[in-house]
Amino acid sequence: MIHNTDCNEISETMLANQFKDSAILVTGATGMIGQNIVRIIMELNELYNANITLFAHVRNRNKCNIVLENYASIPNFKIVECDITSPFFKEELSGRYIDYIIHTVGVTGGSLQHLQRPMDTIDVSLRGTRNVLDLSKNTQCKGIVFTSSLEVYGNTGVDKPYIFETDGGYIDPVNVRSSYSESKRMCECMFASYAKQYGIPATVARLTASFGYGVSYADNRVFAQFAKNIRTADRSCNMVRVGDELAAELSSYGISVVHDRTLHDGESYNDAYENSLASIQSYLAKYPSIVYVLDLHRDAVQDANGTQYKLVTAEDPAAAQVSLIMGVAHDGWQDNLRLAIAVQEKLESQSPTLMRPITLLNYRYNQFAAPGSLLVEVGAAGNSLDEALRAARLFAKGFAETILGR
């Protein structure tokens, strides 16, 4: 994975020696930037025995348990759950030994957030930053860094190939969209002021537009919306790969399998069912002996904030859960449902929590094309490829034994 490679390359620098045996506070630890910083720090501990104590400030512990679940049981990883704008933030961390603070908190997610919640944007930036700076003063930390934004440059009014730190442009102070850029400017000034008046070792890092691993599914910025509508065409890591695994496992039971590896949503997501129906009908005409049609999909389970959840089995956390979606808006749907129930019962006897409840919906889902048709959702958007592959193997075992009468 590219993200893991990046983390490893960063952790291979001299950071392990520089921060060995230190305590680091990361605010906004479940945000895109914060969670990646957390991962790098924890990599230093794992790979180089850096013995860094990491305080992960979060607003929602449940989200932290999902986003940073790999670290929950590690003694050096300590969750600090509180509102950064409240006095409790400083009270919760007062008396703690903290060497470095990385302040990443901010209302992000695009212009819509700042237009609809301008005072929240300002409050989190200014009051939150003031609390963090007071904490750095009280703990006499060795360094504190603020992740600012290129929006502080404003509109320079000129077409320049490069923008330098000394450049500054116009920001309309009565435009509520400026709540983000103006508050970032003020936070930078606060960092400079604390450094001047109190001798705080403060640093400002102006980041460009940031996008990557950990960006919220609810982010409404243009590039995030664009990315959400991109489905990888790499068959080695999309649902085609899951189909390969399923086909191989079924074949091991002596079952003849035809696996259609076409990307039916490659050109248009909305035409996926129409495209897949054409493939199904073509194969049925070519191979009239086909008895069963399995249509593989992946689910998407998220909360109101856009956090993607993974679905795993209780008895085998390395396996994603599977669900059968059955359409009832066509003749003969009962035959498909009987097959679904038989497969469900077999799998529940083998892996009690592998299968989610069967879902009946008033659609056809191409299941009218042939008896023995199942729509099989393997895992969700939050699951890894390995978890989906493991689930495919488990499902294949139960399906094969059902149709073979074992």
Q: What is the DSSP string of 129-179?
A: HHHHHHHHHHHT-SEEEEEEEGGGG-B-SS--S---TT---B--TTSTTHH
d(CA 203, CA 144): 6
Which tens digits make up the pLDDT trace of 196-229? 999 999 999 998 877 666 666 556 565 565 555 5
d(CA 328, CA 106): 47
Q: What is the mean pLDDT of residues 229-240?
A: 74
Helix axes 385-403, 239-251, angle to 10 degrees: 40
Q: What is the mean pLDDT of residues 332-341?
A: 94
Token pair 């649902």 is at which residue? Answer: 239
> Per mean pLDDT, which range of 62-71, 192-201, 362-371 is the poorest?
62-71
Q: What is the mean pLDDT of residues 161-186?
A: 87
Which tens digits make up the pLDDT trace of 131-141? 999 999 988 89
- Tell me the β-bridge partners of 148: 206
Token pair 């729509």 is at which residue? Answer: 375
Tell me the one-letter amino acid at 24.
Answer: I
> Per mean pLDDT, which range of 108-122, 183-197, 208-222, 232-246 is the poorest?
208-222
Token pair 């490679």 is at which residue? Answer: 5
SS3 80: strand
Phi, psi of 26 (to 5 degrees): -115, 115
Q: Radius of gyration (Cα) for the chain, nearest Å? A: 26
What one-character DSSP code corresponds to residue 271? G
Mean pLDDT of the residues in the chain: 86
